Amino acid sequence: MDGDAQRAVRLADGRELIYFDDGPGHDRSARDRRDLPPFAPSSQLRLDPLLDEWVIVAAHRQHRTNLPAADACPLCPSAGGRRTEIPAPGYHVVTFENRYPSLGGPPAGGRCEVVCFTDEHGSSFSALPDRRLATVARAWTHRTRELSRLPGVRYVFVFENRGDEIGATLQHPHGQIYAYPFVPSRVARAAEVARRYREERGGCLPCAVVAAERAGGRVVAETGRFVAFVPEAARWPFEVHIHPLRHAASLPDLAEDEQAELMALYRDVLRRFEGLFERPAPYMAHLDQAPVGGDAGLAHLSMRVFTPRRAADKLKYLAASESGAGAFINDVLPEDAARMLRVAGSSGPGAV
Ligand SMILES: [Zn+2]
């Protein structure tokens, strides 16, 4: 599929853009005819010495595009004389370097990319057909592999922020990929906890947690090879973790048919979120994958998705306890959340 169904081009300021198509035979040769200043990101990494934790300072992002009108969306295809980030008049999936990246440039290193899931501005990930899910999985896998090979990159983080309630600045269906030049602290801590478990008790800690959760009362949905559950100690009102039943460290470790099953279950969970309340739920979602060059036995692939919406008209905010002390307070019993999500799958507007 890597021939006709994939094409890399350069944008006017030198950034790389790659088209991933559902199949061959699409013309993606259009050139970017915009007059853009040279791409020169200037982020800085600063170490908080008290917590031994990296902070990214990206002051150039202050003036990035914020909630543009639909007819000024930079992620729609270029059409009708309007030139956007995507030169072609239509596309399936594209990835490209973020024009306003949090990472990148000589001082910080790393790279930030945008992933557009569809050229339909008003659509959403939850509405993508199976064929497109496969193309998204192919793009995520390709970028995980390629970004892991960049000098200095230590962790590739695939994620989506959806909804202006949680700060997404563009409504067009899209996610992002951050290639960090360090292992983020939560990832490093999880690896350390898994290492301790392996030394003391043997085996993979996340695999043990998955087995325990499958036997518990918080499973939301299960397919032949994957399970989605609300974890016992969920931090967010509605939080779901999706795990393979076998041990796998990263998305590229999964076979194509396994990826298809994972993506379909993820879409199913998003539809359940939509079925919870009378309006679309804002959400954050991400892939947990192995750090670059890390111990693959310690990392365990999972997808995590959560919404800060705790009731139809209420959002959870990260206040002093969460932001200041790092102690989450969840207002919804995880068992209730799991039950509501199970019901949402059978009766909600997004039911399949
Ligand atoms: Zn758009």
Q: Provide the sign of the torsion angle of the four alpha carbons 195, 196, 197, 200, taken in this order.
A: positive
Q: How does pLDDT run along the chain (352 residues), one tens digit per residue?
A: 445 789 999 999 999 999 999 999 999 999 999 999 888 888 889 999 999 999 998 876 666 666 677 788 999 999 888 999 999 999 999 999 998 888 877 777 889 999 999 999 999 999 999 999 999 999 999 999 999 999 999 999 999 999 877 777 788 999 999 999 999 999 999 999 999 999 999 999 999 999 999 999 999 999 999 999 999 999 999 999 999 999 999 999 999 999 999 999 999 999 999 999 877 889 999 999 999 988 877 888 999 999 988 888 888 888 888 888 889 999 999 999 999 999 998 654 443 3
Predicted pLDDT of residue 145 = 96
Q: How do 16-20 and 93-97 pair as beta strands? A: antiparallel
Assigned token pair, 250:
């990263």
Q: Provide the sign of the torsion angle of the four alpha carbons 177, 140, 135, 343, taken in this order.
A: negative
HSE, CB side, 13 Å, CA atoms: give it for residue 185: 9
Predicted pLDDT of residue 164 = 79
Predicted pLDDT of residue 119 = 97
DSSP class of residue 6?
A: E
| CATH number of the structural domain 195-347 | 3.30.428.10
Q: What is the dihedral of CA 291, 17, 1, 73, to 10 degrees?
A: 100
At 32, the amino acid letter reads: D
Let me know: does 32 contact 87? Beta carbons within 8 Å.
yes
Gap from CA of 172 to ligand 1 centroid (Å): 4
Gap from CA of 237 to ligand 1 centroid (Å): 30
Gap from CA of 113 to ligand 1 centroid (Å): 17
Candidate list 92, 172, 174, 286, residue with the active-site label: 174
Gap from CA of 212 to ligand 1 centroid (Å): 42
Gap from CA of 175 to ligand 1 centroid (Å): 13
Strand, helix or coil for residue 224: coil
> 195-347: same fold as 6-185?
yes
Predicted pLDDT of residue 66 = 67
Domain 6-185 CATH class label = alpha beta
Predicted pLDDT of residue 50 = 94
Does 174 qualify as catalytic in the annotation? yes
Strand order, beta sheet including 219-222: 6-10, 16-20, 93-97, 111-116, 174-180, 155-162, 283-288, 302-307, 238-244, 226-229, 219-222
Gap from CA of 170 to ligand 1 centroid (Å): 8
Bridge partners (DSSP) listed for residue 178: 112, 157
Unique residue bearing structure tokens 């085996």: 203
Predicted pLDDT of residue 2 = 45
Unique residue bearing structure tokens 């980030």: 85
Gap from CA of 311 to ligand 1 centroid (Å): 29
Predicted pLDDT of residue 350 = 40
Assigned token pair, 35:
């007059």
Predicted pLDDT of residue 174 = 96
Predicted pLDDT of residue 281 = 86
Gap from CA of 112 to ligand 1 centroid (Å): 19
Gap from CA of 39 to ligand 1 centroid (Å): 22
Strand, helix or coil for residue 142: helix
Gap from CA of 171 to ligand 1 centroid (Å): 7
Domain locations along the chain:
6-185, 195-347
